[in-house]
């Protein structure tokens, strides 16, 4: 085999909380348009580019690839490390391997391979096209952040594929593509399904319904009924039942399944869902099946999660710990006013709010990267902070290098690699243009917004 692969390990199951009743469903939303079905060696899945809708992607290869006409290195305009990588078709993650990789089994002998990611989806995960399977990284590549991508076809087995099974890819009905090291191909992603990596969700002002932005203008689709709190991240969108606190996962528009009972709080990483027991004495991880959870940690104060992983504070002294695996935690810092997790970094606000720090990734060493801040917001688009005096929003461009991107808002949310804001009086939702302080209106009144 080309790589060191790690298959799915069986895990002992532990029930987190008792199941109760489901959240009400609403009228169904229209299905998204799809590209024409592409045919190849056999009926090939309708593979989309593995990046959020409308992302501009440059497809390259280099002569060190073998075969170089079939293997693709994909680069996003802007080259944001930590941006979400999506499943290009429905399937089952059946293997993880190094460096930063996974292989998805799509059925009918078809497979796709992804490499150099962080926050990689674990073997045993079922994914829909558009689900986040990792984040743009530079794992094992020693160059610019990018995604290595392959399509494979094994007519003799639906269980495994290897180097000899690589085929010229078809993406969004285009191809088979023959990669030329001297002639990159530019394409725009149409991976615009319901659960794209840059999905934005909102609760209606009276919290009677959950809505998803269509990605166009100010059109929104209702995808769920009443909800208490929304939790969003790479692993999906989750919501609590406002009546009893039970937790539900959105599988699609108005299609929700119960995954657990009430908890003190929940947190979503790039590929996992975690919960703090109602009394705060234990941290649990959802197994991905039904309402079964495993205990992975003891008492905690607050959970912080994102593409870089799961972190929790010590409820006694506020010290911060990183989750390395079931019941394996390491101290990474002392107390802070709050913390925020991007696709590949951890940031904290000093207890007195006078400085922003970034964890170096080693021990408990942090570097100061900014001055006073009110609230931190983080995600694939990076780190943002409000001015504690007037609420203006700033983006961190690098250590102690910040630029103003907008005025005050009631709330902000980072969805994939995009930034959204709820106006100060909550009467409109806006999306940052990515330039200066220009924002575009994408919706009307809302009580809360959440992105993944």
Residues belonging to the chain: 452
> 432: which strand partners?
439
Q: Look up the pTM and report it.
A: 0.65
Measure the CA–CA gap between 25 and 129, rounded to whole angstroms: 22
Residues in CB range of 224: below 8 A, 6 or more apart:
23, 25, 26, 209, 210, 239, 250, 254, 256
DSSP string, 18-38: ---PPPPP-PPPPPPP-PPPP
Sequence-distant (6+) residues with CB within 8 A of 361 are: none
**C-alpha pair distances (Å), 317 with each of 140, 359, 362:** 37, 19, 21
Distances (CA, A) of 168 to 39, 106, 355: 12, 17, 51
Name the residue with tokens 């009307």.
444
Find the mean pLDDT for residues 284-298.
94
First and final CA of the chain: distance in angstroms? 34
Residue 129 confidence (pLDDT): 86
Q: What average pLDDT does the structure give for the chain?
A: 84
In degrees and rounded to multiples of 5, residue 353 shows phi and psi of 75, 15
Whether the predicted pLDDT of 424 surpasses 90: yes
Interval 234-245: pLDDT, tens: 777 899 999 999
| pLDDT more than 90, % of the chain | 55
With 70 as the cut, is the pLDDT of residue 7 above it?
Answer: no
- Which domains are delineated in the chain? 1-8+36-191 (2.70.70.10), 200-451 (2.130.10.30)
CA distance 325 to 378: 23
pLDDT in tens, 300-328: 999 999 878 899 999 999 999 999 999 99
Q: Which has the closest alpha carbon to 167: 156, 178, 180, 183?
A: 178
**For 355, phi and psi rounded to 5 degrees?**
-155, 145
């Amino acid at each position: 085999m080309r790589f060191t692969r790690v298959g799915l390990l069986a895990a002992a199951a532990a029930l987190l909380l008792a199941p109760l009743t489901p959240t009400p469903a609403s009228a169904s939303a229209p299905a998204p348009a799809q590209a024409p079905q592409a045919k190849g060696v056999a009926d090939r899945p309708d593979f989309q580019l593995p990046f959020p809708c409308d992302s501009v992607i440059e497809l390259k290869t280099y002569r060190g690839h073998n075969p170089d006409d079939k293997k693709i290195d994909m680069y996003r305009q802007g080259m944001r490390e930590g941006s979400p990588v999506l499943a290009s078709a429905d399937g089952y993650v059946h293997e993880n391997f190094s460096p930063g990789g996974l292989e998805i089994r799509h059925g009918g002998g078809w497979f796709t391979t992804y490499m150099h990611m962080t926050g990689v989806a674990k073997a045993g995960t079922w994914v829909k096209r558009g689900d986040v399977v990792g984040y743009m990284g530079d794992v094992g590549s020693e160059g610019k952040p990018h995604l290595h991508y392959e399509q494979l076809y094994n007519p003799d087995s639906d269980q495994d594929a290897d180097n000899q099974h690589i085929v010229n890819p078809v993406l969004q009905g285009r191809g088979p593509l023959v990669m030329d090291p001297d002639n990159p191909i530019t394409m725009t992603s149409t991976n615009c399904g319901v659960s794209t990596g840059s999905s934005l969700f909102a609760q209606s002002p009276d919290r009677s319904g959950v809505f998803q932005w269509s990605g166009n203008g100010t059109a929104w689709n209702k995808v769920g009924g009443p909800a208490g709190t929304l939790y969003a991240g790479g692993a999906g969108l989750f919501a609590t039942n406002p009546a009893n606190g039970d937790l539900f996962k959105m599988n699609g528009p108005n299609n929700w399944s119960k995954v657990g009972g009430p908890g003190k709080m929940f947190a979503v990483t790039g590929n996992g869902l975690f919960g703090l027991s109602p009394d705060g004495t234990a941290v649990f991880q959802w197994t991905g099946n039904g309402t079964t959870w495993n205990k992975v940690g003891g008492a905690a104060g607050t959970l912080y999660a994102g593409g870089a992983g799961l972190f929790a504070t010590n409820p006694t002294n506020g010290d911060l710990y990183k989750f390395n695996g079931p019941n394996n935690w390491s101290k990474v810092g002392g107390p802070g006013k709050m913390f925020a997790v991007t696709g590949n970094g951890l940031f904290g606000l000093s207890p007195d709010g006078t400085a922003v720090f970034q964890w170096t990734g080693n021990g408990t060493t942090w570097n100061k990267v900014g001055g006073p801040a009110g609230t931190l917001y983080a995600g694939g688009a990076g780190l943002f902070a409000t001015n504690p005096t007037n609420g203006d929003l700033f983006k961190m461009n690098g250590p102690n290098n910040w630029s103003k991107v907008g005025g005050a808002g009631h709330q902000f949310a980072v969805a994939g690699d995009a930034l959204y804001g709820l106006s100060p009086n909550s009467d409109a939702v806006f999306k940052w243009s990515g330039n200066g302080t220009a924002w575009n209106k994408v919706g009307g009144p809302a009580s809360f917004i959440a992105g993944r």
